[in-house]
Amino acid sequence: MNQTSAADFGATFWRTGARTAEAATNLTAGDLDGQTFRLLADNLPTLCWVANGDGYIVWYNRRWHEYCGTTPAEMEGWGWQSVHDPAVLPEVLEAWQRSIASGEPFEMVFPLRGADGVFRPFLTRVCPLQDDAGRVIRWFGVNTEISRQMQAEAAFRESEARFRNMADHAPVMMWVTDADGACVYLNRSWYEFTGQTEAEALGLGWLKAVHPDDEAESGRIFLEANARREPFRLEYRLRRADGSYRLAIDAAAPRFDSDGAFLGYIGSVIDIEDRREHEQALRETEERLRLATEAAEVGFWDVDVVNDVLIWPPIVKAMFGISPDAPVSMQDFYEGLHPDDRESTAAAFAAACDPLERALYDVEYRTVGREDGQVRWVAAKGRGIFDAQGRCVRVIGAAIDITARKKADAELRELNENLERRVAEEVAEREQVSEALRQAQKMETVGQLTGGIGHDFNNMLAVVMGSLDLLKRRLPPTDARAVRYLDAAVEGAQRAATLTQRLLAFSRQQPLRPEPLDTNKLVGGMSEFLHHSLGGSVRLETVLAAGVWRIEADRNQLESAILNLAVNARDAMPERGRLTIETQNCHLDERYVAQHIGVPPGQYVMIAVTDTGVGMSAETAAKAFDPFFTTKSVGKGTGLGLSQVYGFVKQSGGHVKIYSEVGQGTTVKIYLPRSMASGTEVESGPPDTAALQGDERELILVVEDEPAVRQFSVDALIELGYRVLSADGAEQALRLIDSNPEITLLFTDVVMPEVNGRKLADEALRRRPELKVLFTTGYTRNAVVHNGVLDPGVELIGKPFTVDQLAAKVRAILDA
């Protein structure tokens, strides 16, 4: 049969029985000799036979007669009954007759007597062969002895029962799974430890006894190992019956049958948090229990003290770097210990053997692998066994490799140290952020206060400056003393107006007119003016980066901010020094803005102003942006320069930062958001301040709740040649608009009680869409300004204003 075994050939014969039967359809008992079918069947290792359609056996193969010790004549027909067990023959006959009657295949297990008179179990399978009409014309039978199979199954059942009995008395928790990973057995220790019932634990229910934080990861590791059919080891917290959790090691090895088919796992769970003492030592070695504990990475060891014999399973040998089959002795144990641990370990073993002390052998030591040189940590426990005379005859215990645990402990200590360091860093960072938040809140509160003050100042200054302006128009130039007094008053009022504007800039209430700007061009254009402002003792340098992005900002306010920083820098260099203005593209990332409250991350254009002056302390730098704070002597500064810079930058959506050291100079960095707009920069020419006269045909309605301001506005417009009506509020103004259709311009304050100027303008335009509107205010309050920018289409003149400024603004609106 070439390379095919007899068993395989018999199986092939059975699978191809239908084709073989078809080939033998026309054969009879008399013409089987010499045919292919007979040659095939005679060489099979099984008992084969052929019967006609009525079940009358007409032929047996050679193997049948050799086993039964019969001749063909004895067996023909129904003679086969003589080799059957009389006790089961009626049952066999009944089943065989049912198959003959139904034409269904026959399969049954029953004993057949051999030539030696012994009955052995056989599995009999019979296949019918039918003609075209469906009538059975042949039966082909195969009898296969299954004695060994049945003995193996019985042995397996007996072994399984012994294992369960042994496992239920084991001092560790043990379990078995099927090939799909479902737990089919857990020993008694598991149920006693966890309090689970069998219904709760089987399958994957054992995971419910694992700590909720460890359950998902433990299940994943177990199922992945099951899919790969490889050993695994994991640690998790296991719930005890009283509800507490204990750290446990769960480890297992896969099981395979003789054909290499995966059967599942056998494993065990060890409580490693505080292992209980083993009061009852193992006296006899159970190989199957050893295999189970080895799968769990726990090794049981046994020392015969009387005969100086050491018994180590492979797992303990592995802890000492020794091959599984290598013989070992107590000398291997002592030589395998790390030199630093030999004395303490030997002393502990001696104490366990001492009849008076009888101490628990409980040690942790390092080993140095004999074959691989690897250092491992081992935890071992054991108890001495003493005879009637009190002599120690054996020491039995368990050992476990704790290298991973030691490494984890070291990593945990390192993690804790790193965590403590990180916590300290975070506390410091939070303190910095908290300080920045307090500073921002303080600046916001002061800004709101100064904004309100600025509103009242502007109203008063509007009356003062306006009245002085009108008075100057009427004062004869021949009175030099009066002109000098008037000029001094105007200069004082203008300085007060400048201070007020800085207050409003700090409080972010200054209306801005942003436009596309080329930062390099703006800084370069200021160079000549700055040279004159700084004087000859200060050397000015500009470092303008190539490709600086465009920004969108109020040109006048930005120029004023740069000038303020330059003047402050000059004052910080009383003798001589260098002032550097630098531009650069930059990106403020998430880490930077996390430490600076209110600064959004993104792309910015930076303008840095650096001096080589006296510098500032950290305490001074922290207060530098506060309004009215100054380190200059009385009369040398107002303390509003940096406040104006701060307010303008914040109102423009930017960020400003001071870097300074005493004696090393100061750098103030302004960050303004990059503009993605494609607009072109508008070149601004010198303002036309000519007092353009009005036309008497043009009628202007002035609306102002402050009487003095209203009167000045009326007088100024009349002075300019316009006809003027006035109202103290929205209600009176709307009546005048309805009754005077010739009104061409509505000149209204923004901040008024009840109905503000914006709402008045909206209603007036609804009634008179062609009406021109000019707003005035000393404090915006978001009526016509949002996010610091004038609303589209809004015309505004800020208080205080001069007659010439009013003339130019009114004329520009009316002529548009």
Span 351-397, pLDDT tens digits? 999 999 999 999 999 999 999 999 999 999 999 999 888 899 999 99
pTM of the prediction?
Answer: 0.34
Query: 136 pairs with which residues across the strands?
Result: 130
Q: Output the average pLDDT for the chain.
A: 81
Helices (H), 399-517: 403-474, 480-506
The gap from C-alpha 690 to its chain's centroid, in whole angstroms, comes to 67
Looking from the CA of 801 toward its CB, the CA atoms found within 13 Å total 25
How far CA 283 is from CA of 170, 304, 393, 396, 534, in Å, comes to 13, 11, 11, 8, 101
Comparison of pLDDT for 585 and 493, the residue scoring more: 585
Would you state the pLDDT for residue 129?
92
Model confidence at 433: pLDDT above 90: no
Distance CA 85, CA 97 (A): 18
Q: What local confidence, expressed as pLDDT, does residue 673 receive?
A: 92
680 has pLDDT over 80: no
CA atoms within 13 A on the CB side of 302: 12
Q: Can you give the pLDDT at residue 243?
A: 93
Element (H, E) at 711: helix 707-719
Contact (Cβ atoms closer than 8 angstroms) between residue 727 and residue 733: yes
Token pair for residue 20? 């073989």
Q: How far is CA 280 from the centre of its chain?
A: 50
Helix, strand and coil content of the chain, in percent to the nearest 5, comes to 45, 25, 30
Cα–Cα distances (Å) from 718 to 123, 463, 698, 724, 815, in that order, read 129, 16, 11, 7, 18
Task: Measure the CA–CA gap between 644 and 498, rounded to whole angstroms.
Answer: 11
**For residue 563, which of 494, 500, 493, 648 has the smallest C-alpha distance?**
648
Q: In DSSP terms, which residues pair with 700 in a beta bridge?
A: 724, 745
Highest mean pLDDT among 129-133, 477-481, 734-738: 734-738
Residue found under tokens 């297990």: 109
Check residue 27 and give its pLDDT.
44
How would residue 220 be classed by pLDDT, with cut points 50, 70 and 90?
A: very high
DSSP 475: S
Query: Is it the case that residue 251 has pLDDT exceeding 70?
Result: yes
Please tell me the predicted confidence (pLDDT) of residue 282. 38
Can you give the pLDDT at residue 560?
Answer: 83
Of all residues in the chain, the percent with pLDDT exceeding 90 is 39
Counting Cα atoms < 13 Å in the Cβ hemisphere of 287 gives 1
* HSE toward the beta carbon, residue 56, CA cutoff 13 A: 5
Q: Tell me the C-alpha to C-alpha distance, in Å, between residue 776 and each of 746, 752, 788.
A: 11, 11, 16
- The residue type found at 220 is R
pLDDT digits (tens, 9 = 90+) for 309-346: 898 888 899 999 999 899 999 999 999 999 999 999 99
When mean pLDDT is compared across 118-122, 156-160, 227-231, 613-617, the lowest value belongs to 156-160
Residue 63 has pLDDT above 60, yes or no: yes
At residue 14 the predicted structure's pLDDT band, cuts being 50, 70 and 90, is very low
- Distance, CA of 24 to CA of 32 (rounded, Å): 9
Triad 184, 190, 195: Cα angle to 5°: 110
Query: Which is more confidently placed, 548 or 626?
Result: 548
Give yes or no for residue 278 having a pLDDT over 50: no
Least confident segment among 153-162, 264-273, 347-356, 385-394: 153-162
- Which has the minimum average pLDDT: 145-159, 399-413, 433-447, 647-661? 433-447
Residue 807 CA to residue 814 CA, distance in Å, equals 11
Given pLDDT bands bounded at 50, 70 and 90, which one contains residue 568?
confident
Please report, to the nearest 10 degrees, the dihedral formed by the alpha carbons of residues 659, 662, 663, 667 taken in order.
10
pLDDT tens per residue, range 750-775: 888 888 888 999 999 999 999 999 99
Q: Contact 57/48 with Cβ under 8 angstroms? A: no
Higher pLDDT, 143 or 679: 143
Rounded percentage of the chain residues whose pLDDT exceeds 70: 76
Between 657 and 621, the more confident residue is: 657
Give the whole-angstrom CA distance, residue 175 versus residue 266. Answer: 6
- Stretch 406-416: mean pLDDT: 87
Q: Provide mean pLDDT across the span 445-467.
A: 61
* Residue 728 pLDDT exceeds 60: yes
Average pLDDT of span 524-541: 84
